Homo-oligomer: A and B are copies of this chain.
Amino acid sequence: MKIAIVGSGAVGGYYGARLARAGEDVHFLLRSDYAAVRDHGWRITNHEGPWRLHPVNAHERPETIGPCGLVIIAAKATANPALPPLVRPLLGPATLVLTLQNGLGNVEFHAAYCGAERLLGGVCFVCINRVAPGVIEKYIPGSIRLGEMHGPARDRTRDLAARFSRAGLDCQAVDSLPEILWRKLIWNIPFNGLTIAAGGVTTDIVLARPPLLELTRQLMREVQAGAAAHGIAIPDAFLQKQIDVTLPMGPYKPSSLVDYLAGREIEVEAIWGEPARRARAAGTPLPRLETLHLLLAGLAHARTPSASG
């Protein structure tokens, strides 16, 4: 299958490289990492040992890729305004568009110019960082869940999940995309947020300091309530599990903290703003999340917006 990866940072680079290694016809649309990936390929530092994908179909412009069977959007949500002209040349009559972006509002954004019928969303439960041009560190096996923008999984959703699975990835189609998006937020909202708001600390510090751990739990319960306001039941055990899986990750830097420390724009609206607004609109204001949102928006305010891949 001809697959384009738009936003070839850590997530796009890693999953694209896995799919290419499994024999898919993967094309990477690159910007800052173009030369490094073209010349040296993708280099992955994996918990299973390092490996490399080389040569790579590296592109600077979408026109040299052309229409694909699948477009995977893995750019930061902050880059969305710049994406329509990059994605449109990749679309044919039957092209599927899968966004693996964090937070809420991404499928709706891309549906507006791609058409909702093409749109799928996915969530990567993984710890993965781009540490240098073309170099990706991955820490835990992780998993992917895919769902339709509207309605339950279809044959095409399951076919896509099977394709990821054949590449050796833990991937399943699910019947509710909103559910997996809200579940991911149970982790992202506290950990991506508090590591920044507490002065730029790693996740182990958030877990080790009792006030921050308490605030983590309170935020998780708010996100759980926000999901419930949308008819999505997330059990208490899932909240505790997010803490349990984070403990062995040690001094981990969530992607937003990596961006923040590098002076890049963070996904304030996708991860904190949009969930807060949707919960309020559904009659369940989440004041701790709203506070964290305004604080992060205030931190980010002075920074120059820059799309990050």
Whole-angstrom CA separation of A214 from B215 in the bound complex = 21
Give the distance to chain B from A52, nearest Cβ to Cβ, in Å: 38
Contacts of A198 in B (CB 8 A): 295, 298-299
- Chain A contact surface mostly: helix
Give the distance to chain B from A19, nearest Cβ to Cβ, in Å: 39
Contacts of A298 in B (CB 8 A): 194, 198, 206, 209, 211-212, 215
Q: Is A199 an interface residue (CB 8 A)?
A: yes
Contacts of A218 in B (CB 8 A): 290-291, 294
The count of identical subunits is 2
Q: Is A237 an interface residue (CB 8 A)?
A: no
Interface size for A (C-beta < 8 A) is: 26
A294 in contact with B197 given A288-B287, A302-B209 (CB within 8 Å): no
Tell me if B294 and A291 are in contact (CB < 8 A): no
Whole-angstrom CA separation of A301 from B194 in the bound complex = 14
Q: Is A111 an interface residue (CB 8 A)?
A: no
Give the distance to chain B from A301, nearest Cβ to Cβ, in Å: 4
Tell me if B291 and A212 are in contact (CB < 8 A): no
Give the distance to chain B from A140, nearest Cβ to Cβ, in Å: 25
Tell me if B291 and A215 are in contact (CB < 8 A): yes
Interface string of A180-218 (1 = CB under 8 A from B): 000000000000001001110000011001111011001
The residue in chain B whose Cβ has the minimal distance to the Cβ of A215 is: B294
The residue in chain B whose Cβ has the minimal distance to the Cβ of A296 is: B211
Q: Is A247 an interface residue (CB 8 A)?
A: no
Tell me if A301 and B209 are in contact (CB < 8 A): yes
Contacts of A290 in B (CB 8 A): 218, 288
Whole-angstrom CA separation of A294 from B214 in the bound complex = 8
Whole-angstrom CA separation of A285 from B197 in the bound complex = 22
Contacts of A209 in B (CB 8 A): 298, 301-302
Q: Please provide the 9 A-B residue pairs with the shortest distance between their CB atoms, ordered closest to farther.
A: A211-B297, A212-B298, A287-B287, A215-B294, A211-B298, A211-B294, A291-B291, A209-B301, A288-B291
A-B contact sample (4 more), CB < 8 A, given A211-B297, A212-B301, A288-B291: A198-B295, A209-B302, A215-B291, A291-B291
**Can you identify 9 A-B contacts, CB atoms within 8 angstroms?**
A199-B199, A209-B301, A212-B298, A214-B294, A215-B294, A218-B291, A287-B288, A287-B291, A288-B291
Chain A residues engaging chain B, CB cutoff 8 angstroms: 194, 197-199, 205-206, 209-212, 214-215, 218, 287-288, 290-295, 297-299, 301-302
